[in-house]
Amino acid sequence: MAVVELFGIPRNRWGTGGVPATVNAPVVSLNVREAALHLPGTGDAPTRLIASITDAVAEVFGETVREHVTVYIVGIPAGRSGVGGEVDPPPAD
C-alpha cells in the first residue's frame, strides 16, 4: 500500500539559500511500507520513484516547477500502520 500526498507551498512561505521562492513549490510525500523498499530487485526503487514522481509533477504543473519539486519517500516500519483500526502485522519471514 502506498499513500501519496501533494502539498503546494505558497511562494512567500519558502526559499532556497536564503532567497524567497519565485515559483510555487510542489512537495510530494510518498508513504510506503518499509518492506516494499527492500524487496528483491528494488535496490534503486527510491531513485526511480523520485525521478518518476518529479516527471509526473512537471508534466502536470509545467517544466518551470521541476527544479523546485521536493519528493519524500517515507518508509513505514511494520507494526506502525493500520487499516480499519487494526495494526498491520509484521511481514512473515
pLDDT in tens, 56-80: 999 998 998 898 888 999 988 888 8
Identify the three-state secondary structure at position 46. helix
Cβ atoms of 40 and 53 closer than 8 Å: no
Kindly state the average pLDDT of the residues 10-33.
82
Domain 2-80 part of CATH 2.60.120.260: no
pLDDT in tens, 39-62: 888 888 899 999 999 999 999 989
In the chain, where are the structural domains located? 2-80
pLDDT at 91 over 70: no
- With 0-12 / 13-18 / 19 or more C-beta atoms within 10 angstroms meaning exposed / middle / buried, residue 57 is buried
* 41 contacts: CB under 8 Å, gap ≥ 6: none
What's the predicted TM-score (pTM) here? 0.74
Amino acid at 75: G
